[in-house]
């Protein structure tokens, strides 16, 4: 069946940078002036501020009316594709971000709360956090969750901090100084381990798509602090020896952390604690239906065993009878990794998602995400120019498959990035390639998830097929893409040139002037 591709064109507003807009004197927002009563009792601001610290030069912000600001940012919103079309962005588990959850989280009963309020005035939010903790405990088998981490990477960092506190309590901090991970585990794991002061040992993949037990045995020692590992990985390979991995690391005296970034395919199928892990992490902005927001606010929910719970960052939400409170009195705590106790609106949205889905819905979501991936896997593998990782492994993949456009590149010169630039012309979001380093040449990694319809999946597959056809027929056309977007292809050379990069408008103006003067 031939899928009809849409005749799509993105909004193109040719919108100027806000710093160049407006006219002197225009106002977008007014505040009241202090009354005479206040001035008389307190004095005027000019006299209340130390002279040495008063601002002399006004900041060169734009001067705009309110509708100009609103329209400007609405134009920019329209020049953002986001998930308006189909986004199968791998590892990010694109989900429906239910408007009801947005509406609830925006209410003053969440938005207008201060984290230092008396606990009696926060009972609703504490109850939601505690109830969601209970849901995650059931999904993972862990004994306690905290939500302080501002994203998945921050949850990995939390694990490193918890590991430090655990080691300190055993007199082993500074002695056990290595963290073992795999090359297919998300870069944030080795990165946060290094930032927390550990040496990182990275195991490479072998024949079966994961490192061997021998390699792991050779890597662990009395210096091993922890294993940080993802499973399944984003190529769709599940490591069936993971229980042995946990045993080997435990025997060496280290902790085991399960980065559940790819939880969607195994929700309700297995539990981290029962595989032996001491701790795990879920991303509420991915697996649990809270929105991405272009990169947060996010939550990395970190859960651990009772043995590790004393080392968690403070505070922890606990229940005393019918009352909930924030427990700060945890003398062995690793301290804090971010202020306060988490991105509360996102926790509320994730709780709402889990309640809407229920046990059956969550289990079905994992079924559908794995079914959808294997459906895509079959169809994409039929497209000329597309191959997949580990072709010799003849098993159904989990919720993702790593594909390669190396053949297309060899045949046509068109790369995976160039295909990405073209596919957006059909109203679908750019696919995800792969983390660094690329183990598969010219990689791309869709993740179908459970939200999208079969029609959507067929459309997405048809877009890839069409772009590959175009690459064989007219590679120059694909290389010049996109053709239907707010702007044309950007030049990347200036981005890495200190004379030309500009992270602010003022830097851009200075460098442009310098370049003109030659």
Partner 1 sequence: MTAASTPHPYMANSVDALKREMLDAIGAESVADLFEQIPADHRLRRPLNLPPSLSSESELRRHLIAMLRKNQTCEANLSFLGAGCWQHHVPAVCDELVRRTEWLTSVFGSPMSDHGRNQAWFEFCSQIGELVNMDMVGLPVYSWGCAVGHAIRMASRITGRHEVLIVRPTDPERLAVIRSYCEPSEMPGHIEAKLVGFDRRAGGIDLADLSGKLSSATAAVYFEVPSYLGMIEVQAAEIARLARANGAETIVGVDPISLGVLAAPADYGADIVVGTTQPLGVHMNCGGGVGGFIATRDEEVYAREYPSLMISITDTVKEGEFGFGLSLFHQTSYGMRDKGKDWTGNSVYLWTIANAAYMALLGPQGFADLGALIVERAHYAAALLARIPGVRIAFPSGFFKEFVVTFDGTGKSVADINRALLARGIFGGKDLSAELPELGHSALYCVTEIHAEEDIERFAGALREVVAS
> According to CB under 8 A, which one of 86, 142, 146, 154 is a site residue for partner 1?
154
Q: Is there binding between residue 4 and partner 1 (CB under 8 A)?
A: no
Q: For 355-405, where are the E strands, in sequence order?
A: 387-388, 403-404
Contacts of 83 (CB under 8 A, 6+ apart): 94, 97, 429
- Kindly state whether residue 320 participates in binding partner 1, applying the rule CB under 8 A: no
Closest separation in Å from C-beta 473 to partner 1: 21
**Residue 237 in contact with partner 1, rule: CB under 8 A:** yes
Q: Where are the beta strands (DSSP E) in 328-405?
A: 387-388, 403-404
Q: Which contiguous run of DSSP H or E holds residue 476?
A: helix 475-479
Q: Does 274 sit near partner 1 (CB under 8 A)?
A: yes
The β-bridge partners of 146 are: 302
- Of the pair 325, 338, the CB lying nearest partner 1 is at 338
x/- letters, 347..386, toward partner 1 (CB under 8 A):
xx---x-xxxxxxxxxxxx-xx-xxx-xx-xxx-------
Identify residues 44-73 at the interface with partner 1 (CB under 8 A): 44-46, 48-50, 52-64, 66, 69-70, 72-73
Which of 9, 26, 170, 384 lies at the binding interface for partner 1 (CB under 8 A)?
26
Binders of partner 1 among 470-489, rule CB under 8 A?
480, 482, 485-489
Q: How many whole angstroms separate alpha carbon 30 and alpha carbon 45?
A: 17
- For the segment 402-441, give every residue that binds partner 1 (CB under 8 A): 420-421, 424, 429-430, 432, 435-436
Q: How many residues of this chain bind partner 1 (CB under 8 A)?
A: 224
Q: In the set 296, 318, 330, 439, which binds partner 1 (CB under 8 A)?
A: 296
Per-residue contact flags (x/-) with partner 1 for residues 109 to 148, judged by CB under 8 A? xxxxxxxxxx-xxxxxx-xx--x---x--xx---------
CA–CA separation, 427 vs 177, rounded Å?
48
Which of 43, 413 has the CB closer to partner 1? 43
Smallest gap from Cβ 343 to partner 1, in A, equals 4
In three-state secondary structure terms, 265 is coil
Q: How many whole angstroms separate alpha carbon 342 and alpha carbon 151?
A: 10
State the Cα–Cα distance between residues 333 and 316, nearest whole angstrom. 10
Phi first, then psi: what are they for 270, rounded to 5°? -150, 160
How far apart, in whole angstroms, are the C-alpha atoms of residue 441 and residue 271? 33
CB of 78 to partner 1, least distance (A): 7
Q: Rounded to whole angstroms, how far apart are CA atoms 96 and 364?
A: 15
Q: Which is nearer to partner 1, 218 or 495 (CB)?
A: 495
Q: Rg of the chain's alpha carbons, rounded to an integer?
A: 26
């Amino acid at each position: 069946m031939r899928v009809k591709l849409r005749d799509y064109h993105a909004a193109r507003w040719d919108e100027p940078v806000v710093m160049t807009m407006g006219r002197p004197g225009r106002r977008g927002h007014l505040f009241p002036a202090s009354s005479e009563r206040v001035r008389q009792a307190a004095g005027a601001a000019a006299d209340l501020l130390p002279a040495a610290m008063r601002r002399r030069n006004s900041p060169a912000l734009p001067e705009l009316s309110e509708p100009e600001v609103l329209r400007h940012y609405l134009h920019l919103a329209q020049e953002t594709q986001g998930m308006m079309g189909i986004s199968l962005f791998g590892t990010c588990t694109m989900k429906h971000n239910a408007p009801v959850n947005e509406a609830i989280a925006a209410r003053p009963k969440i938005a207008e709360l201060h984290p230092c309020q008396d606990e009696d005035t926060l009972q609703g939010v504490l109850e939601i956090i505690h109830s969601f903790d209970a849901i995650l405990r059931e999904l993972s088998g862990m004994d306690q969750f905290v939500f302080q981490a501002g994203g998945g990477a921050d949850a990995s960092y939390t694990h490193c901090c918890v590991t430090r506190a655990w080691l300190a309590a055993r007199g082993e901090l500074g002695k056990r100084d290595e963290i073992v991970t795999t090359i297919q585990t998300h870069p944030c794991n080795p990165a946060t381990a290094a930032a927390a002061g550990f040496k990182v040992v990275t195991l490479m993949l072998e024949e079966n798509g994961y490192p061997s037990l021998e390699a792991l045995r050779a890597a662990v020692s009395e210096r091993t602090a922890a294993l940080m590992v993802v499973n399944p990985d984003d190529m769709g390979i599940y490591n069936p020896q993971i229980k042995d991995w946990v045993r080997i690391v435990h025997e060496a005296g280290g902790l085991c952390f399960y980065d559940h970034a790819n939880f969607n395919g195994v929700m309700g199928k297995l539990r981290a604690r029962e595989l032996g892990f001491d701790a795990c992490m879920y991303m509420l902005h991915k697996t649990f239906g809270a929105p991405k927001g272009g990169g947060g606010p996010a939550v990395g929910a970190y859960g651990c065993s009772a043995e590790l719970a004393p080392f968690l960052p403070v505070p922890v939400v606990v229940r005393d009878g019918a009352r909930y409170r924030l427990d700060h009195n945890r003398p062995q705590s690793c301290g804090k990794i971010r202020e306060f106790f988490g991105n509360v609106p996102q926790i509320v949205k994730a709780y709402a998602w889990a309640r809407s889905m229920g046990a059956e819905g969550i289990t079905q979501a994992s079924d559908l995400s794995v079914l959808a991936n294997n459906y895509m896997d079959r169809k994409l593998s039929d497209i000329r120019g597309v191959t997949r990782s580990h072709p010799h492994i003849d098993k159904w993949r989990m919720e993702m498959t790593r594909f390669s456009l190396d053949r297309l590149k060899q045949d046509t010169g068109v790369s995976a990035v160039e295909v990405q630039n073209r596919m957006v012309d059909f109203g679908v979001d750019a696919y995800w390639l792969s983390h660094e380093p690329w183990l598969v040449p010219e990689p791309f990694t869709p993740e179908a998830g459970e939200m999208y319809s079969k029609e959507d999946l067929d459309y997405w597959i048809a877009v890839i097929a069409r772009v590959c056809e175009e690459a064989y027929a007219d590679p120059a056309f694909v290389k010049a893409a996109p053709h239907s977007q707010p702007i044309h292809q950007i030049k990347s050379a200036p981005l890495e040139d200190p004379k030309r990069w500009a992270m602010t408008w003022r830097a851009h103006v200075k460098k442009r002037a310098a370049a003109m003067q030659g």
